[in-house]
Amino acid sequence: MTVRMDNVGIVVADLTGTIEFFTELGLELEGRAVVAGEWAGRVTGLRDQRVEIATMRTPDGHGRLELSQFLTPAVIADHRDAPVNALGYLRVMFEVDDIDETLGRLRARGAELVGREVVRYEDAYRLCYVRGPEGILVGLAEALG
């Protein structure tokens, strides 16, 4: 049996701003489209939906984010301020070459460091979480050695 993770979905209010943030992180816009129709509503259980989506991929082509801005129906819940110990899907983590340089670029796009510092985990990684556009939680990891 073959299993490959295709993408992680994130619902946003500002699709263009979120695309710009993840582009700054190093992801590439793969495509952008409006998804609507009876078939789409059957998949999600929302019936009459209209959603603008953007697919972003990592430079190696193995990881993808699907960003969705619901045009109809309206968004009904907001989990963006949930702490890291909240139940459910919480964050997406990216390995970067230089965490300090990456943080500098993301801060220019409004990202805020969740903790007070970048933390070192043994001799393996430097790690941090940032809140990106709309409070999206993004993990950053820099491999050491």
Q: pLDDT by residue (tens digit) across 115-143?
A: 889 999 999 999 999 998 888 989 999 99
Pick from 18, 10, 30, 20: nearest CA to 70: 10
Which pLDDT band, with edges at 50, 70 and 90, does 15 fall under?
very high
- Kindly state whether residue 81 falls inside one of the protein's structural domains: no
Output the pTM of the full model.
0.88
d(CA 102, CA 140): 9
Residue 2 lies in a domain: no
Domain annotation covers residue 139: yes
Same structural domain for residues 45 and 99? no
User: What CA–CA distance (Å, rounded) separates 57 from 2?
Assistant: 21
Q: Please write the tens of the pLDDT for every residue from 51-80.
A: 999 999 999 999 999 999 999 998 888 887
Domain assignment present for residue 111? The answer is: yes
116 and 66 both lie in a single domain: no
Residue 133 lies in a domain: yes
Q: Return the percent helix, strand and coil in the chain, to nearest 5.
A: 20, 35, 40
Residue where one domain finishes, among candidates 23, 39, 72: 72
Confidence of residue 42 (pLDDT cuts 50, 70, 90): confident
Residues 6+ apart with CB under 8 A from 63: 5, 57, 94
**pLDDT classification of 114: cutoffs 50, 70, 90:** very high
21: domain CATH number is: 3.10.180.10
In a shared domain, residues 64 and 101: no
Q: Minimum mean pLDDT among 37-51, 98-112, 115-129: which range?
A: 37-51
Question: In which domain, by residue range, is 111 found?
Answer: 91-143
Q: How crowded is residue 84: how many other Cβ atoms within 10 Å of its Cβ?
A: 11
Judge if 118 and 68 occupy the same domain.
no
Average pLDDT of the chain? 91
Count the domains in the chain: 2
